[in-house]
Chain A
Amino acid sequence: MTDTAAPPTVTVTVTIDGRTIEAAKGELVIAAAERNGIYIPRFCYHPRMTPVGMCRMCLVEIDTGRGPALQPSCMIECGDGMSVATESEATRKAQEGVLEFLLANHPLDCPVCDKGGECPLQDQTMSYGPGESRFVEEKRHYEKPIFISELVLLDRERCILCDRCTRFADEVAGDPLIHFMDRGSQTQVNTFPDHPFASYFSGNTVQICPVGALTATPYRFKARPWDLEQVESTCTSCSVGCRVVVQSSRNRVLRYLGVDVDAVNWGWMCDKGRFDFEAVNSEERLGAPLVRDAGLLLKPATWNVALGRAASAIRTGLDRSGPDGFAVLGGSRLTNESAYAWTKLAKGVIGSDHVDAQLGDGLPAEAVLGLPRATIDDACRPGGAVLLIGPDPKEELPVLYLRLRHAVRNAGVKVVELASIHTSATDELAAESLRYRPGHALSVVRALLAGDDGAGRPPTSGAGKEPAAVGGVLAEQIAAATALLADRPLTVIVGRANLAESGRSIAAAAAAVHHARPEARFLSALRRGNVHGALELGMSPGLLPGRVTLDSGRDWFAERWPTLPAGRGLDAAGILRAAADGKIDTLVLLGADPLADFPDRDLAERGLAGARTVISVDQFLTESVKQADVVLPAAGYAEVDGTTTNLEGRVSTVSRKVTPPGTAQADWMIAVDVAARLGSDLGLESHGRIGAEIAAVAPAFAGLTHDVLVSPDGRDGVVVALPARRGNGAGPGVEATAVAGVGEPGGHAPTNVSTGDTGADAASGAAADPDLVAAEDPGTTGDGEGEGDDGDAAEPAAGADEGTAEPEPGVALPVWTIIDPPSVDAYSLRLVVTRKLYDRGTLVRSSPALADLAEPATLRLNPHDFDQLGVAPGDDVRVTSNRGNVTVPTVPEAAVPRGIAHLYFNLAGGRANVLIDGNAPVTDVRVERP
Chain B
Amino acid sequence: MTRFTADNTTLAQEIVGRYPRPKSALIPLLHLAQEQDGYVTEDAMEHIAELVGVTPAEVLGTASFYEMLKREPVGDYVVNVCTNISCMLNGGEELLHHLENRLKIKAGSTTADGKFTLEDVECIAACTEAPCLQVNYRYFHRITHDQADELLDDLRAGKRAHDVPRHGTLSRVRQQIDPERRAGVAPPDVNVEPPWLARNEQATEASS
Verify whether A and B have any Cβ pair under 8 Å: yes
Whether A176 and B54, one on each chain, are in contact in the complex, defined by CB atoms closer than 8 angstroms, is yes
Whether A191 and B65, one on each chain, are in contact in the complex, defined by CB atoms closer than 8 angstroms, is no
The interface bits of chain A over 269-288 (1 if a CB of B lies within 8 angstroms of the residue's CB, else 0) are 00000000000000000000
For residue B155, CB closer than 8 A to chain A, the reply is no
* Complex Cα gap A176–B54 (Å): 8
Known: A192-B45, A193-B42. A179 touches B65 (CB 8 A): no
Whether A176 and B65, one on each chain, are in contact in the complex, defined by CB atoms closer than 8 angstroms, is no
CB contacts (< 8 Å) of B55 on chain A: these are: 175-177, 179, 192, 195
Whether B57 and A176, one on each chain, are in contact in the complex, defined by CB atoms closer than 8 angstroms, is yes
The interface bits of chain A over 173-186 (1 if a CB of B lies within 8 angstroms of the residue's CB, else 0) are 00111111111000
For residue B58, CB closer than 8 A to chain A, the reply is yes
Q: Provide the main secondary structure of the chain A interface.
A: strand
CB contacts (< 8 Å) of B22 on chain A: these are: none
* Complex Cα gap A175–B65 (Å): 20
Known: A192-B45, A193-B42. A177 touches B57 (CB 8 A): yes
CB contacts (< 8 Å) of A178 on chain B: these are: 57
* Complex Cα gap A655–B207 (Å): 79
B interface residues, tally (CB under 8 Å): 13
How distant is A622 from chain B, measured CB to nearest CB, in Å?
37
In the complex, number of A-B residue pairs with CB atoms less than 8 Å apart: 36
* Complex Cα gap A195–B58 (Å): 11
CB contacts (< 8 Å) of A175 on chain B: these are: 55
The interface bits of chain B over 188-201 (1 if a CB of A lies within 8 angstroms of the residue's CB, else 0) are 00000000000000
Whether A179 and B61, one on each chain, are in contact in the complex, defined by CB atoms closer than 8 angstroms, is yes
* Complex Cα gap A176–B59 (Å): 11
CB contacts (< 8 Å) of B54 on chain A: these are: 176
Most buried by B among A175, A182, A191, A192: A192
- Which residue of A is nearest B66, CB measured? A183
* Complex Cα gap A180–B62 (Å): 8
Whether B65 and A192, one on each chain, are in contact in the complex, defined by CB atoms closer than 8 angstroms, is no
The interface bits of chain B over 19-62 (1 if a CB of A lies within 8 angstroms of the residue's CB, else 0) are 00000000000000000000000100110000000111111110
Whether A183 and B60, one on each chain, are in contact in the complex, defined by CB atoms closer than 8 angstroms, is no
B56 is contacted by which of A182, A183, A192 (Cβ under 8 Å)? A192
Q: Provide the main secondary structure of the chain B interface.
A: helix
CB contacts (< 8 Å) of B64 on chain A: these are: 181-183
Interface residues of A in 28-84 (CB under 8 A from B): none
Interface residues of A in 163-206 (CB under 8 A from B): 175-183, 190-193, 195
Whether B61 and A180, one on each chain, are in contact in the complex, defined by CB atoms closer than 8 angstroms, is yes
A179 is contacted by which of B42, B46, B60 (Cβ under 8 Å)? B60
How distant is B50 from chain A, measured CB to nearest CB, in Å?
13
* Complex Cα gap A191–B56 (Å): 9
CB contacts (< 8 Å) of A182 on chain B: these are: 64-65
CB contacts (< 8 Å) of A179 on chain B: these are: 55, 57-58, 60-61
* Complex Cα gap A385–B64 (Å): 41
- Which residue of B is nearest A188, CB measured? B64
How distant is A197 from chain B, measured CB to nearest CB, in Å?
8
Whether B65 and A195, one on each chain, are in contact in the complex, defined by CB atoms closer than 8 angstroms, is no
CB contacts (< 8 Å) of A192 on chain B: these are: 42, 45-46, 55-57, 59-60
CB contacts (< 8 Å) of A176 on chain B: these are: 54-55, 57-58
- Which residue of A is nearest B62, CB measured? A179
CB contacts (< 8 Å) of B58 on chain A: these are: 176, 179
How distant is B39 from chain A, measured CB to nearest CB, in Å?
15
How distant is B86 from chain A, measured CB to nearest CB, in Å?
22
* Complex Cα gap A180–B61 (Å): 6
* Complex Cα gap A176–B60 (Å): 11
CB contacts (< 8 Å) of B59 on chain A: these are: 192
Most buried by A among B42, B45, B60: B60
Interface residues of B in 44-93 (CB under 8 A from A): 45-46, 54-61, 64-65
How distant is B66 from chain A, measured CB to nearest CB, in Å?
8
* Complex Cα gap A180–B60 (Å): 9
* Complex Cα gap A195–B59 (Å): 12
CB contacts (< 8 Å) of B42 on chain A: these are: 192-193
- Which residue of B is nearest A183, CB measured? B65
- Which residue of A is nearest B67, CB measured? A183
- Which residue of B is nearest A184, CB measured? B65
* Complex Cα gap A175–B55 (Å): 8
Whether B61 and A195, one on each chain, are in contact in the complex, defined by CB atoms closer than 8 angstroms, is no
- Which residue of A is nearest B56, CB measured? A192
* Complex Cα gap A589–B164 (Å): 78
How distant is A765 from chain B, measured CB to nearest CB, in Å?
45
18 A-B contacts, Cβ less than 8 Å apart? A175-B55, A176-B54, A176-B57, A179-B57, A179-B58, A181-B60, A181-B61, A182-B64, A183-B64, A183-B65, A190-B57, A190-B60, A191-B57, A192-B45, A192-B46, A192-B55, A192-B56, A195-B57
20 more A-B residue pairs beyond the given contacts A176-B54, A181-B64, with a C-beta to C-beta distance below 8 A: A176-B55, A176-B57, A178-B57, A179-B55, A179-B58, A179-B60, A179-B61, A180-B61, A181-B61, A182-B64, A182-B65, A190-B57, A192-B42, A192-B46, A192-B55, A192-B56, A192-B60, A193-B42, A195-B55, A195-B57
**What are the 4 A-B residue pairs with the smallest beta carbon separation, nearest first?**
A179-B61, A192-B56, A192-B57, A179-B57
